[in-house]
């Protein structure tokens, strides 16, 4: 009797295993459990990539817009430059995970055989703080094609440390996700424009 019972028990277990192997009722749920994480990762990567591209375009737009506003003036003061930079930062909305740096520099190229490229004035916005950047009459650089004697240029530099959603928290108390590689991606652009209404654009109180 003992051997017969053991044989019956083994047969029952084998039958159950066979039935389990033929049972396909849970396959879809298991496949779904494997696929969902992959789909979520693809979704977040696609969303983040599109936001980063759009934000990069907006950083570029800051430089072009601010440079365009400055070069339409015949003269400026610090308050004018600061207002233009503030307008520039508004183009980043609704992105608000970090603040841009904007530098406006008036550049005078001297009327000499070997012209020097000098800072006429400068103004900078970092976060919400305005200040001077390079001191007047210090040497700066411009592309060789723009180094023309006795001319004036306005340079606008816009820079943003982009923080992806996957590495940012609203409280800034901690970052989330892939912090070492993707946190604080640098986005920057530099624009040079010439004055439109006068040979130079002086800043009376810079």
Residue 6 lies in a domain: no
Q: In degrees rounded to 5, what are phi and psi of residue 44?
A: -70, -35
Residue 113 lies in a domain: yes
- Better-predicted residue by pLDDT, 186 or 27: 186
Residue 151 lies in a domain: yes
pLDDT digits over 116-130, tens only? Answer: 999 999 999 998 899
CB under 8 Å to 64, separation ≥6 — which residues?
Answer: 156, 189, 191
Q: What is the pLDDT of residue 84?
A: 95
Q: Which of the residue ranges 43-52, 73-82, 132-141 would you say has the lowest mean pLDDT?
A: 43-52
Residue 131 lies in a domain: yes
Residue 8 lies in a domain: no
Q: Which domain holds residue 186?
A: 25-193
Q: pTM value?
A: 0.74
**Number of domains, the chain:** 1
pLDDT digits over 9-57, tens only? Answer: 566 666 665 665 565 566 667 777 788 888 888 887 888 888 889 999 9
Residue 138 lies in a domain: yes
CA distance 102 to 123: 8
CA distance 26 to 20: 10
Residue 153 lies in a domain: yes
Residue 202 lies in a domain: no
Q: What is the pLDDT of residue 154?
A: 97
């Amino acid at each position: 009797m003992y051997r017969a019972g053991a044989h019956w028990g083994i047969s029952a277990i084998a039958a159950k295993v066979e039935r389990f192997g033929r049972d396909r009722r849970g396959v879809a749920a298991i496949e779904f459990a494997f696929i969902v994480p992959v789909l979520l990762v693809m979704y977040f990567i696609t969303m983040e990539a599109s936001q980063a591209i759009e934000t990069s375009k907006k950083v570029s737009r800051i430089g072009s817009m601010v440079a365009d506003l400055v070069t339409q003036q015949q003269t400026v003061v610090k308050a004018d430059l600061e207002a233009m930079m503030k307008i520039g930062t508004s183009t980043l909305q609704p992105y608000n995970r970090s603040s841009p740096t904007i530098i406006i520099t008036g550049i005078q190229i001297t009327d000499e055989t070997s012209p020097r490229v000098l800072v006429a004035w400068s103004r900078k916005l970092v976060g919400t703080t305005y200040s001077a950047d390079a001191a007047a009459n210090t040497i700066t650089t411009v592309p060789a094609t723009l180094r023309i004697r006795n001319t004036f240029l306005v340079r606008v530099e816009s820079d943003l440390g982009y923080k992806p959603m996957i590495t940012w928290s609203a409280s800034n108390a901690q970052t989330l996700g892939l912090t070492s590689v993707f946190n604080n991606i640098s986005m920057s652009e530099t624009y040079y424009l010439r004055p439109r209404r006068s040979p130079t654009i002086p800043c009376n109180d810079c």
